[in-house]
Amino acid sequence: MIHYSISTYEPSNGFVHIEMRFKAASNTPIVLQLPAWRPGRYELANYARNIKNFSIKNEQGIAIPYDKITKEKWALPSSMNVEITVSYEYYAQQPDAGNSFVNTQLCYINPVNCLLYVEGMQHLPCEIKLPMSASAQVACQLPFDGNSLHAENFDQLADSPFFISANLHHHSIQHGNCNIHFWAAGEVAMNWEQLKLDTIAYANIQEEIFGALPMKDFHFLYLFRADVFRHGVEHANSTVIAMGPGKSMIEPLAYNDLLAISSHELFHVWNIKRMRPVEMLPYDFTKENYSKMGYVYEGITTYYGDLTLVHAGVWSQETYLKSLSDDLKKHINNEGRFNYSLEDASFDTWVDGYVPGVPGRKVSIYTEGLVAALIADLYILQQSNGKYRLNQVLSDMYAQTYLKQKGYNKALYKQLLEKWSGQNMDWYFQDIIEGKGKMTAQLAAVLSWIGCEIETQLAENGQVDCCIKIKLDQTPEQLQLFKKWLNLSA
Ligand SMILES: [Zn+2]
């Protein structure tokens, strides 16, 4: 067992005090590692910059000498059965969905930012003692015994952010065998009953693909901010979503955006937290985990996040087409699409995946990944006369990989696209996944099959405005396929 304890002596100064206690299991040197990145953000993080007053002591409180061997790795000599305590302060002042934040009202921790593990001991159960007050509540996917959270191993601990506060809003609704919890920190104006209904509606649609939510409790941890903000991070049985301004969440535009990000993160429950590319199985927290398949784990998730809202009837056809038009606008205005392939964009999230980058260099696994998913979906729909779509590919891949404790690769994805379309899909990989500059023409072609076109207009700022329009001469066959695409009643 690895024991952690978190305390907030002076939360107003922004630091939490962290202790880690364990017994050395062998006589070989002990190596301590702070994760170099966090799943969901495929770039190196440099969390070690937030650590100060680092010390390692034995049971008698005597300092043990150590060596720092990388920017987030420490080595110390071992003697069997000596209890070791590592302690440090961690600066927690980043209130987004993937970092940690403390003030006098809230203690919000992402363990992957700030907890170390012992190399070779990641499989051991972990206990994390929390700074509880009589009135505080804890929001977390891990079991809580009144004082501590319990994780089966470090991987699960690293995947389990939590809120502690006396001021959390908590709502829940039973959905099949899963109790869905909504926790909110920060000021918010929200129609909670509507949010519950809408969440159940899009969850139902996502479950049609992958099966019922595979957990007894799922937690939405909403961190509402006063400023304009939008960020979400997925976990196995929870998600953190940082949004703002919290007071706007009863306004249709802000509420629809909250639904969009929530639906995206719920889709990740299956598509990345369970079904995962083979090179990320398991995650390696010490270095980059390169994958060229971001178009599956982020692209398809971005596509289905919005699509399942219109399929559920939570969004209107107009709201969906407007949102899709906004995504296509980002695609069309990015010169990078002539210089960079989608799979290279996935590999290079570790280089510059989350910043604008140099002009015209690159594309996004989110935006271009969405376009790639849309092309695949409409292609299968058309080739199968409306019988199948990308849903079957995902469902099949989930059964063949996650349910058999395996990861997926490009060959399997291609094989399944060909199985459900009934066609050779070399063109798709050559042009859309590995190619440059060919996506826009393919997009226009698949949209024409449902009687739609992209209308473009030069805007005053020099950008091209984009709008997906239903063509005036849309045929009854095209209309039928269009309705299948958006799951609209006949
Ligand atoms: Zn995502």
What domains appear along the chain, each with residue ranges and CATH number?
2-163 (2.60.40.3650), 168-254 (3.30.2010), 270-486 (1.10.390.10)
Single-letter code of the amino acid located at 25: A
- Ligand 1 centroid–CA 233 distance in Å is 7
Element (H, E) at 310: helix 301-311
- Dihedral over Cα of 238, 239, 245, 250: its sign: negative
- Residue whose C-alpha is closest to residue 372's, from 427, 419, 448: 427
- Ligand 1 centroid–CA 57 distance in Å is 40
- Ligand 1 centroid–CA 165 distance in Å is 27
Question: Which tokens belong to 84?
Answer: 């070791």
- Ligand 1 centroid–CA 298 distance in Å is 5
- Ligand 1 centroid–CA 111 distance in Å is 19
- Ligand 1 centroid–CA 266 distance in Å is 9
**Which residues are found with C-beta within 5 Å of the ion, ligand 1?**
298, 301
Distance from C-alpha of 259 to C-alpha of 199, rounded to nearest angstrom: 8
- Residue whose C-alpha is closest to residue 32's, from 46, 16, 21, 17: 21
Contact 80, 24 (CB under 8 A): yes
Phi, psi of 21, rounded to the nearest 5 degrees: -125, 135
- Cα distances from 220 to residues 184, 242, 257, 458, 475, in angstroms, run 8, 11, 15, 40, 43
- Ligand 1 centroid–CA 223 distance in Å is 17
Element (H, E) at 172: strand 169-175
- Ligand 1 centroid–CA 305 distance in Å is 9
- Ligand 1 centroid–CA 1 distance in Å is 32
pLDDT, tens digit (0-9, with 9 covering 90-100), for 109-160: 999 999 999 999 999 999 999 999 999 999 999 999 999 999 999 999 999 9
- Ligand 1 centroid–CA 319 distance in Å is 20
Single-letter code of the amino acid located at 412: L
- Ligand 1 centroid–CA 297 distance in Å is 7
- Ligand 1 centroid–CA 115 distance in Å is 23
Distance from C-alpha of 316 to C-alpha of 300, rounded to nearest angstrom: 21
- Ligand 1 centroid–CA 351 distance in Å is 18
Question: Which tokens belong to 347?
Answer: 């590999």
DSSP code for 41 = B
- Ligand 1 centroid–CA 473 distance in Å is 37
- Dihedral over Cα of 307, 292, 327, 269: its sign: positive
- Ligand 1 centroid–CA 340 distance in Å is 21
- Ligand 1 centroid–CA 7 distance in Å is 31
**Cα radius of gyration rounded to whole Å, the chain:** 24
Confidence at residue 487, expressed as pLDDT on a 0 to 100 scale: 94
Give me the residues paired with residue 389 across strands.
none
Antiparallel, parallel or unpaired: β 238-244 and 217-224 = parallel
- Cα distances from 424 to residues 380, 386, 430, in angstroms, run 11, 18, 12
- Ligand 1 centroid–CA 91 distance in Å is 26
Distance from C-alpha of 18 to C-alpha of 420, rounded to nearest angstrom: 51
Confidence at residue 490, expressed as pLDDT on a 0 to 100 scale: 61
- Ligand 1 centroid–CA 306 distance in Å is 12
- Ligand 1 centroid–CA 300 distance in Å is 9
- Ligand 1 centroid–CA 41 distance in Å is 9
- Ligand 1 centroid–CA 40 distance in Å is 7
- Cα distances from 198 to residues 193, 202, 221, 252, in angstroms, run 9, 6, 17, 13
Which residues of the chain fall short of a pLDDT of 70? 490
- Ligand 1 centroid–CA 299 distance in Å is 8
- Ligand 1 centroid–CA 450 distance in Å is 27
